[in-house]
Amino acid sequence: AQSVAQPEDQVNVAEGNPLTVKCTYSVSGNPYLFWYVQYPNRGLQFLLKYITGDNLVKGSYGFEAEFNKSQTSFHLKKPSALVSDSALYFCALRPNAGKSTFGDGTTLTVKP
């Protein structure tokens, strides 16, 4: 069975500070991992993905994530947060030809 955990319901950071949104996973086989962002009353927007290759993945809007196989983690990071980054973030796991498993989501609030 596959699973994704986002241990924090809420992350609060000050504008300009670095941010981290945590994600851990469990899967047998190759972990295809994704981060999505959702703004109020909108669908999900793709941020970045890890399929294979470099463990550090760079994505949209200055976000990046590091795949750590030994810790089974795929934390989302950004060096300097913006107020406009405030949104709901989802980590997702999608094995071969399969359906995605989403984490419960983490609400990021960036305060000015």
Partner 1 sequence: GAVVSQHPSRVICKSGTSVKIECRSLDFQATTMFWYRQFPKKSLMLMATSNEGSKATYEQGVEKDKFLINHASLTLSTLTVTSAHPEDSSFYICSAAPGLGWLGEQYFGPGTRLTVT
72 DSSP 8-state letter: T
Cα dist from 35 to 45, 67, 112, whole Å: 9, 12, 24
Q: Does 5 bind partner 1 (CB under 8 A)?
A: no
Q: Does 24 bind partner 1 (CB under 8 A)?
A: no
Residues in region 50-89 near partner 1 by CB under 8 A:
51, 88
Size of the site for partner 1 (CB under 8 A): 23
Mark the segment that binds partner 1 (CB under 8 A) among 13-21, 45-53, 63-71, 75-83: 45-53
Measured distance CA(106)–CA(112) in Å, rounded: 19
